[in-house]
Structure 1
Amino acid sequence: MHPVVLDTDGQVIDGRNRLKACEIAGIEPTYTTYDGDDPAGYALSVNVHRRNLSKGQIAMITAKAGFLSGQSECPPSGHSSRFLSGQLGISRGIVSKANVVLQHAPDLVDPVISGATGLNDAYTVAQETKAKANSDEVQIARLREEDPELADRVTAQELTLQGAWAERKARVEEDLRQRRVATGLLCEVLPSLAQIRGTRTFALYDPDLAPPGRAVTREVIQHAATALAEIAGVWKERDLP
């Protein structure tokens, strides 16, 4: 009644159980070749329609199979929620709900597929889980990863969570400011120093013309040499060009 369907490469895309039954019974199965351009979509469509499934179950099976738009960077065969809605006769809203359950309540995916849990009930749980992602507890855990000292102060009730994030933001901004200043200083000094290497600039130095407090002495040169050695070490450690 239903031939085993192969793709153009001879791979089974529908009828694996029928093929196995024929092998057990010693019967030569009949084959047909799918000549369309979407074997994955075809296999999914014929299988879900062959089973007595609710639309919620169909949507959840589809989501679990990884066909929903947004579940991966490159969904198989380029399937989108619009395509699946048309192929499987389910609304995009149901597809979207299944997607949310897959992302935020994965432990309910199989119960929805088996029929033990309705998609709407699972979706409600998934929404609650998603909302908790922004709860104080989650925020403290995130803060602890970024700045354990601030997280400890929040736990000790020395600082509010809002105040801790404000201080964290200020620390990040100050760190960025310092990095900008340091980068600007190094980019201004070192390239200029490198450019005068091998020239007569050093021989032309006149201490009487040096700005107050900026005279170049042997001590200054020694400190500069030490600084260059330290810079070279840091660049090697950070694997910078």
Structure 2
Amino acid sequence: MTAIAGVHPYAEQFPMLTDDELADLAESIRANGLRQPIVVTPDGLVLDGRNRWAACQRAGVKPATMVYEGDPADCVIDANVRRRHMTTGARAMSAALVLAAAGRRRDGRWIGWSRTSQTSGRSSGEREALRQAGVVLDYAPDLAAPVVSGEVTLNAAYERAQRARGSRRLRDDEDAARAHLEEHAPELVELVADGTHGSYREVAWAALLIEDERAGAARSERDHQQQSKRTYAHLAGTVRFLAQLDAALGGVNRVMDAYDPAALDATAGADPAGLEPDSLRRASHFLAQLAEWAERRNKA
């Protein structure tokens, strides 16, 4: 039985279980033993079973090992293809990191993937996720770790990588920059033609930054409008409730004529701690504005 000498770098591209999950696994191994051996390279580096090895160390159990002599990248990816605590995007990004480390990413393509087992039995969605993960590694590699951890979705990272790819073309290719300007900002083509505002690439790059800023402002405005609509809907519901309450009580004014504020303190089980003064003041301000609005509507 080959002794474990450490963890293979490919296996480290997939995240470990949480501390609580490792504790549960260690308890299970302590009670029932290790049911599945840890897969290692001929020189003892863990390819599959990093969590089981950590749990065995916690449980004080010597793990059984099994030597794998094939391609370590294939072994690691196959072993982690169905990790339940990872999303499809996170698994795809981890697999992409393994393949890239194995030298299988070249010129924007996965090299030899038809010969590797990571595509066999995969759904079209999983294959597409691996393709997108490759684009992220090419144009936005800083997002790889956040995708693996779940902090950023693969779709969001892919969109940013696509924008970066388009930006790079405009920055590096004069013909592509001119074509972009002719299609999206033909008035700027003349700025380059007179020779006073730099190259097509420089003007296109500046225009792209402005487009991104405007797009961000448009998104903020749409978010604001949607929030306003939700707020108005809540206010409309409040107004309807107050109208129904007024009708049900035969008129709030008549009820309040006989109201004694001291009754709050005398009420059995009253909990003044649940009354937030600021919330009550905001509610009072809203009702005052609502009364003014109702008076204006009645006079109109």
What range describes the TM-score normalised by the shorter chain of this pair?
A: 0.3 to 0.5
* TM-score normalised over the length of structure 2: 0.40
Larger radius of gyration: 1
